[in-house]
Amino acid sequence: MNARTLSFKHFAAGIAVLLALALLLINGRPIDTAAHGRVIAQLGELNELDSHLGETVLAIRDGLITHYDPLAATLARMSVVVGELREGEDAIVGRGNADIDRAWQATAAALANKEDLVESFKSHNALLKNSLYYLPLVVDTALKQLPASDGLRGTLERMLREVLLLRIRHSHSEREEVNRALAHLETVLEQYAPRDRALIERLIQHSRNALHHQEKTDALAALITRGSNNQMGHELAEAYNRSFERALWLTNLYQALLSLLALALIVYAAYSFLRLKRNAARLAQSEDRYRRLVEVSPDAIIIDSAGRLAYANAAAVRLYAASSAEELIGKPLRDLIRPDDHDGPRVDGSGAGAEVHLHSLREQKALRLDGKMIDVEVVSAAIAFEDTSATQTVIRDITERKKAESRMAYLAQYDTLTGLPNRNLFHDRLRVALARAKRNQQTIALMFIDLDRFKEINDTLGHSAGDRVLSIIADRLREHLREVDTVARLGGDEFTVVLENITNTGQASTVAAKINEALAQPIIIDGQEIFITASVGIAIPQAGEENIDTLVKQADIAMYQAKQEGRNNLQFYSPEKHAKSSNLLSLESALRRALERDEFILHYQPKVSARNGRLAGVEALLRWNSRDFGMVPPAEFIPLAEETGLIVPIGEWILHHACVQAKRWQDKHPQPLTMAVNLSARQFRERNLTSTIIGALGKSGLDPRYLELEITESMVMHRPEEVVGILLKLRQMGLQLAIDDFGTGYSSLAYLKRFAVDTLKIDRSFVLDIERDPDDAAIVTAIISMAHNLDLKVVAEGVETREQLGFLQRLGCDECQGYYFSRPLPAHELETLLAAPPEKWELHRPVAIAPLLKRATG
């Protein structure tokens, strides 16, 4: 389409060539040879006329012609010819040729001069003839009049003869003769009578006239004829020839230039033609390349002209489920492509507005021939197709992408495990609910539900069990809520519920109670009953409160409060309680920094042999002296450490310090002292547990025999196969292993054999009422005897009174631990204890246990 937008450069070049052509054509036009021939002829005629004029003059002088018409006619003709020459030359060599102008003027002047000479000649010749006609008459009269004897007669006769001969001979001698005769006549004139004298005088006058005019006529004739020797027009002819030669030369030059230009144009034309041909070939290649591209394109490509389909490639045929392109061609575009929504630009290309969006990628629907509507992505470009403007549209089937997109959208909004809305969607729903409530002058309630001790389920039964529990919980939540309410899972064991259309807190607590009730139903996983409780925090937006983040925070706080209150309950958010829970939050951050700040210390609680009262060992217990909170009870920060995972580095720290301390004491005091260290479940699962232990032992140089690791019942119950391996490995290292808090879990003693532990530590809850509660006494009795049967050492925890000690002694408990002996002590205090054991450790008065046993059974 370049041809239409002719560039200025080409236009200018074209104009220049045309101008040059025009200039050369005008200048190089052949000299008007007809005019040239005319001028040559005229110059010739002028010459001939001039000669003719001279001849005529001579003929008249010699009396061969007796009138002057030929002279007048010749001169008139010469005048005409000179005038015509002036015009004719202009036609050939152009005006303003100074050379020719000068020559022409000279010629005109010569002609005028010739005319004057001729006029003069005519006049003189007439007068000469006049005298010559009359002279014989006068002589005749004189001869008649004069006496016969007069001597003058001879003179007169002779003179007449001479004059007439002069007419023929033009000789000087005759002229002299006549003059002598006339002079003679004048001298003798006086002698004659007046009548004769007058006659003679007239005779003399006419003779002199004749002589005079004869002379003049001869001179003029000579002038005229001499001038006729190619003088007339000669200069003009030369000037003309010069000009003509020059004009001819210029014309030839221009014609040569014209030929050169023509040659150049022909060469250029040939070159252009070749280039065009080459370009056409290249264009054809290019066209072929792009056509193939279009044909094999995996994307559908169609071309429509005036809203009707003019071309469809193979992909388009496939996309529209057509059998061939012919089936598609001719169909209105609007039957094939529909706007995705009503605001979208139409693709028919006919609207003016369509141009603007033509090139932008947009999503639309394609209506297949089988009636199926599919999602497509469309981009169009205006093109020329078979000399009309058309639109080329590329259509890509994006059905799969759309599916993936909706899946992504789902994933972005839903929790895959439970199918509940996730945090994102929850936030949206909450926002909408809040806005709707405000509009309807109602309120909402936001519940945070956190399952109690869910971690333990994961720890003991495994994650897949935990996941199934979560699924079941989600189903129950859904079941017990209205459609309008939203249940979401924020992650882990945290659920939220948005209750809409509520008017008072009572409604919320009713729903919460219902939820708690539903959750309380036992869940059976792998044949095992699991009881789940939940802590529920409820927040109801304050009047004017619109910030969902605030609301979420409040519900969260309320939930924490519920946890604080001993779990399995619900709490409404109140600002007063807020302060406390925010403490909890900051406790966590303080805990995170505790290690680097070196805020942890170990206290050691002695374990005393029930048989001899000697210090058998110590249990290392962690204490946290926080810079911000002072002494923080382990019950507060240990669960936090477990939740946050901080327990792992902390546990490492404990192991290390405990080993170092134990070694130091052993070096100082030769008695064997076992150092017991608690392992958390989390720690137990760490892969590098053994290397950590080896590291701690290696660094401290403690004999492994004196390191005892305390693990809880629940820890071993979870994945027992794995645990057995780990425990065996630890045993092989020479460590001692103890089951802590024994009796609280679900494990059976039979299991313990497999675990290859050395010691059982009876939970303090059994020891506490051992004297008064026969059940507890029975349990402890059973545990001890069974343990001994299994060759396990039994340690009782929480021994606080002498009676308890006595009881346990009687049952054969191996070691005791508790406030009766000592609270957990800082290292230096324990050192004093090592140096001098207190008196009460002398167990010389064993307590009778029989009545206690009786009471327990009774």
Partner 1 sequence: MTTRYALTDHKGWWIGLSLLLLTLASFVMWLQRATAMTHQPATPTLPGQQSAASKEPIIPLPQSVQLDPLKVALGGRLFRETRLSRTNSVSCATCHALDQGGVDRLRHSVGIHNQVGGVNAPTVFNSGFNFRQFWDGRAATLEEQAAGPITNAAEMGSSWDHVLAVLNGDGSYVAEFKSIYRDGVQVRNIRDAIATFERSLITPNSRFDRYLNGDAKAITADERNGYRLFKSYGCIACHQGINVGGNMFQKFGVMKDYFKGRENVNPADLGRFNITQRPEDRHVFKVPSLRNVASTGPYFHDGSAVTLEQAIAIMGQYQLGVTIPDADIALIAKFLHALTGEYQGKPL
Cα–Cα distances in angstroms (integers) from residue 196 to residues 191, 500, 580, 660, in the given order? 10, 178, 189, 200
CB of 198 to partner 1, least distance (A): 10
Pull the structure tokens for residue 582: 């925010």
* C-beta of 134 vs 414, nearer to partner 1: 134
Find the shortest distance in angstroms from Cβ 260 to partner 1.
12
- For the record, the structure tokens of 806 come out as 């006595």
CA 725/CA 687 separation, integer angstroms: 12
- CA distance linking residue 723 with residue 757, whole number of Å: 11
Question: What H or E segment, with its residue span, contains residue 531?
Answer: none
Q: Which is nearer to partner 1, 71 or 805 (CB)?
A: 71
Q: Are 131 and 203 in contact (CB under 8 A)?
A: no
Q: Smaller CB distance to partner 1: residue 123 or 231?
A: 123
Q: Which element (helix H / strand E) includes 82?
A: helix 69-93
Smallest gap from Cβ 14 to partner 1, in A, equals: 4
Q: How far apart are CA 302 and CA 300, in angstroms?
A: 7
Least CB distance from residue 193 to partner 1, whole Å? 18
Burial degree of 299 (CB within 10 A; 0-12, 13-18, 19+): middle
The Cα 566–Cα 572 span in angstroms is 15
Cβ 185 to partner 1, closest distance in Å?
Answer: 17
- Cβ closer to partner 1: 4 or 845? 4
Tokens found for residue 478:
């859904």
- Residue 125 or 747: the one with the smaller Cβ distance to partner 1 is 125
In the bound state with partner 1, the residue whose beta carbon lies nearer, of 212 and 685, is: 212
Residue 286: which residues within 8 A CB-CB, separation 6 or more? none
Closest approach, Cβ 17 to partner 1, in A, equals: 6
Contact 228, 54 (CB under 8 A): yes
Taking the complex as a whole, how short is the minimal distance between the CB of residue 105 and partner 1, in angstroms?
18
d(C-alpha 296, C-alpha 394), whole Å: 13
Q: Would you say 87 or 546 has its CB closer to partner 1? A: 87
CB < 8 Å & 24+ apart, contacts of 773-779:
773/856, 774/852, 774/853, 774/855, 774/856, 774/857, 774/858, 775/856, 776/856, 777/807, 777/852, 777/853, 777/855, 777/856, 778/856, 778/857, 779/743
CA-angle at 461, arms to 460 and 465, nearest 5°: 145
d(CA 120, CA 57): 11
**Chain centroid offset of residue 621 CA:** 65
Angle at 387 between CA 381 and CA 391, to 5 degrees: 20
* 734 contacts: CB under 8 Å, gap ≥ 6: 703, 704, 705
Please report how close the Cβ of residue 200 comes to partner 1 at its closest, in angstroms.
Answer: 14
Question: Tokens 């007809």 appear where?
Answer: 34
H or E segment to which residue 826 belongs: strand 825-826
235-240 contacts at long range (C-beta below 8 A, 24 or more positions apart): 235/103, 235/106, 235/107, 236/43, 236/46, 236/85, 236/100, 236/103, 236/104, 236/106, 236/107, 237/43, 238/103, 239/99, 239/100, 239/102, 239/103, 239/104, 240/39, 240/43, 240/89, 240/93, 240/100, 240/103
Q: How far is the CB of 151 from partner 1 (least distance, A)?
A: 26
Task: Give 269 or 409: the residue with its C-beta nearer to partner 1.
Answer: 269
**What is the rounded CA–CA span in Å between residue 840 and residue 805?**
11
645: alpha, beta or left, given left = phi > 0 and alpha = psi -120 to 50?
A: left
Q: Which positions ≥6 away from 7 have C-beta within 8 Å?
A: none
- The minimum distance between CB 145 and partner 1, in angstroms, equals 15
Closest CB 179 distance from partner 1, rounded Å? 20
Q: How many residues does the chain have?
A: 858
Calpha distance 541→520 (Å, rounded): 28
Alpha-carbon distances, residue 715 vs 98, 173, 726, 755 (angstroms): 133, 182, 12, 12
Report the first-to-last Cα separation within the chain, whole angstroms.
Answer: 114
Question: At 171, which amino acid appears?
Answer: S
For residue 136, the minimal CB distance to partner 1 (Å) is: 9
Nearer to partner 1, 268 or 410 (CB): 268
- 413 token code pair: 């909004």
